[in-house]
Amino acid sequence: MKGSAPISAELAAFLESGLSITAGTRDRELNPDGARAWAARVDEDRTHLTVFIHAKAAPALLRNLESCPEVALAFDRPVDNRACQVKGRFESSRRARPDERAEVERQAGGFLSQLDEIGIPRALTAGWKVWPAVAIRLRVTELFEQTPGPGAGEPLR
Amino acid sequence: MIPLESLTPCFQGLLPAWLLTCSKDGIPNVAMLSHVDYVDSSHIALSFQFFNKSKRNVTENPRALVRLYDPDTLQMYALRLRFVRTETAGATFERMRLRIEAIASYSGLKGVFKLLGADIYEVLEVAPVEHEVGRPTAASTPRPAAGVPFTMKALQEFSARIHGAATLDALLDAVLETLEQNFGFRHSMILLASERPERLELIASRGYPPGGVGSEVGFGEGIIGMVAEARKPVRISGMLRQMLYAYAVAQRAQERGLRPDDCRIPLPGLPHPESQLGIPLIAHDDLVGVLCIESQQPYRFHEEDRAYLEVLGGFLAIAIQNTLLRERAEESEDAPTAPSRTEDGKRLPAPSGSGPNLEITWYEADECVLADGEYLVRGLPAKILRKVLREHRDEGREEFTNRLLRLDKSLQLPVVKDNLESRLILLRRRLEERCPAIRIASCGRGRFRLELEANVTLVERP
């Protein structure tokens, strides 16, 4: 089993800045599956991360995670495609608390504003539901650069 | 299963698609895709541009999932896939390569941002993700029926306009006008092959500010250059996103010490096009030129537009060739009007006699002409301008015939298939835009008159 990979302060700020987040899981037959996450919070220990997924997307994701805890999270900033991938192991899940809602909506709003900037108007994204959310906590095992181009896929230091 | 054909709009690349894979050890991976292409009713192709984990994963475990959005509703679809093979040649690969290289050339990234292969996947299942829909109301609204602009009436009109155009000049304008009025394509341009190898020049455009005539595009540069090089149509949607993707690659490449070429290609046309469609104009195996339409609207042009315009482009190419042949055949064989000698051999008289001064400078080495220090035109049109100004100065000649130009060896026109008519149109339009004091006015088939509204001095430099 892989150890923990600490997230730098700079990277933590990036991960929490309101990005496109796609979570990837798999089942026992190695069939991949995925869902959009709307926000991420890096724990103070910098080795754990919590992502917020819409409650309707959570059951399928959790079904996989409970039997196969490996998870991949792709973070991408739409305006410039700066991207990284966080690999981790599922630890726990819970309903997101009301006091977390503002932060989840802030990050989701940041992502939607960026889409607006690159030509996908708010009117088109208005139907995407952010809340209620489920918080999924994982231990971070590896971090990779994923900005497209040469160097994508290399470990992040 | 939802038929793959109904997802065609999702393959426009307006929003990034995501590829989810899993290693044989069970580690999932999520990667952004620059291109997803429809292959047939049970296969799609994904662009393979860099060796990465996804590639490694599908080689050892072919199961994959693509998440992509419908650009009209932002409905997310999940496509369950099985990796089949990588293609490095053939129609699918070529289609993807042209699009990617067109984007690359805009970003100075040719050679860095390229397609290594088209990864072909079998589609096992297509399912909408119920809770991921951006504009639920739009989902129930039927998509505007494809092909609405290409009615029989519109096609007949197009055909009639082509047949009705007596000259190349009239033909080019009529075609672009019809594209707007009958098909709704508001920004269009036609570039014709230049006399210099592997170059095209803009000769007619519609929906742009003036000043574009004479813009040059080399083969392989941007969408127009790619269309010319490959002689195949290229359609790009969601350009901003793809340019951002390419730009991210460029940044990374530069950080890595790789050298994307520095000369970015100034694109003739819209400053920020979101959709482009380029069609080769081919007649009897000759590349006559390229027709390009653009829009600021993402995902404006569909496969159907490409298919129809490809057919129309074929007609247009033949029409251009025929018009040129006809114009030449009907050219007047009369001698031009007798020159009226001027007393002053240097100064070209302006008809009004009181026009402003204008200095036209010919540079032999570059074969180009500047008007009062500003670049005007180069190549054959520049040589023609020098010739007529010279003859006007030295012999007082005002009227010229194409036949006379053809006989002039200094112009070095090819014996067969010269493109004199199109060069004259380019020169005339360029003058209208940049130097209206000099006019090349048609005065009958194969004849034109030089009209000056300035005191023109012709300066010839090595």
Q: Where are the domains of chain B?
A: 4-140, 152-238+274-329, 357-461
**Residue B135 three-state SS:** coil
Task: Say which of B14, B65, B253 has its CB closest to residue A149.
Answer: B253
Task: Identify the pLDDT of residue B341.
Answer: 47
* A155 interface with B at CB cutoff 8 Å: no
Task: Say which of B21, B131, B258 has its CB closest to residue A129.
Answer: B131
Task: Identify the pLDDT of residue B256.
Answer: 66
Residues of A in contact with B249 (CB under 8 A): 148-150
What's the CATH fold of domain B4-140? Answer: Pnp Oxidase; Chain A (2.30.110)
CA distance A48 to B303: 46
Q: Does B20 contact A24 at a Cβ distance shorter than 8 Å?
A: yes
Q: Does A146 contact B247 at a Cβ distance shorter than 8 Å?
A: no
Residues of A in contact with B258 (CB under 8 A): 150
Q: Where are the domains of chain A?
A: 9-145
Q: Which of B20, B53, B83 has the highest number of chain A CBs within 10 A, making it the mutation to test binding with A?
A: B20
Task: Identify the pLDDT of residue B345.
Answer: 42
CA distance B129 to B70: 11
What distance in Å separates residue A57's CA from the closest CA in chain B? 7
What distance in Å separates residue A18's CA from the closest CA in chain B? 17
Classify B357-461 by CATH class: mainly alpha
Classify A9-145 by CATH class: mainly beta
CA distance B148 to B279: 20
Q: Does B28 contact A129 at a Cβ distance shorter than 8 Å?
A: no
ipTM of this predicted complex?
Answer: 0.94
Q: Does B74 contact A146 at a Cβ distance shorter than 8 Å?
A: no
Are the C-beta atoms of B440 and B448 separated by less than 8 Å? yes
pLDDT, one tens digit per residue, over A95-149 is: 999 999 999 999 999 999 988 887 777 877 888 889 999 999 999 999 998 887 7
Task: Identify the pLDDT of residue B221.
Answer: 79
Task: Identify the pLDDT of residue B459.
Answer: 93
Q: Does B26 contact A30 at a Cβ distance shorter than 8 Å?
A: yes
CA distance B83 to B427: 54
* A116 interface with B at CB cutoff 8 Å: no
Question: Residue B56 is encoded by which pair of tokens?
Answer: 């490694």
Task: Identify the pLDDT of residue B13.
Answer: 66
Helix, strand counts (H, E) of chain A = 4, 6
Closest residue of chain A to B250, computed from CA coordinates: A149
**What is the pLDDT tens value at each position of chain B, 462 positions in all?**
788 888 877 776 667 789 999 999 999 999 988 778 889 989 999 988 776 789 899 999 999 999 998 877 788 899 999 999 999 999 889 888 887 887 777 666 666 677 888 999 999 999 998 877 777 554 444 444 444 577 888 888 888 888 888 888 899 999 999 999 888 899 999 999 887 888 898 899 998 877 778 888 888 877 888 888 888 888 887 766 676 777 777 776 666 665 544 434 455 577 777 788 999 999 988 899 999 999 888 778 877 888 889 989 998 999 998 888 887 777 655 555 545 444 444 455 555 456 789 999 999 988 889 999 888 888 889 999 999 999 999 999 999 988 888 888 888 777 666 778 888 998 999 899 889 999 999 888 788 999 999 999 999 998
Q: Does A125 contact B74 at a Cβ distance shorter than 8 Å?
A: yes
* A78 interface with B at CB cutoff 8 Å: yes
| DSSP summary character for residue B335 | P
Residues of B in contact with A146 (CB under 8 A): 31-32
Classify B152-238+274-329 by CATH class: alpha beta
Question: Which pLDDT band, with edges at 50, 70 and 90, does A94 fall under?
Answer: very high
Question: Residue A81 is encoded by which pair of tokens?
Answer: 């495609």
Residues of A in contact with B124 (CB under 8 A): none
Task: Say which of A24, A146, A150 has its CB closest to residue B28.
Answer: A24
- Integer-rounded Cα radius of gyration of chain B: 26
Q: Does A82 contact B132 at a Cβ distance shorter than 8 Å?
A: no
* Long-range contacts of the stretch B2-7 (C-beta < 8 A, 24+): B2/B77, B2/B126, B2/B127, B2/B128, B3/B41, B4/B38, B4/B40, B4/B41, B4/B42, B4/B44, B4/B123, B4/B126, B5/B38, B5/B41, B7/B38, B7/B68, B7/B70, B7/B77, B7/B126
What distance in Å separates residue B74's CA from the closest CA in chain A? 7
Question: Which pLDDT band, with edges at 50, 70 and 90, does A30 fall under?
Answer: very high
Q: Does A32 contact B53 at a Cβ distance shorter than 8 Å?
A: no
Q: Please report how the helices B303-329 and B152-164 are oriented relative to each other, as an axis angle in degrees rounded to 10.
A: 20
Q: Please report how the helices B152-164 and B168-183 are oriented relative to each other, as an axis angle in degrees rounded to 10.
A: 170
Sign of the torsion formed by the C-alpha atoms of B278, B429, B436 and B265: positive
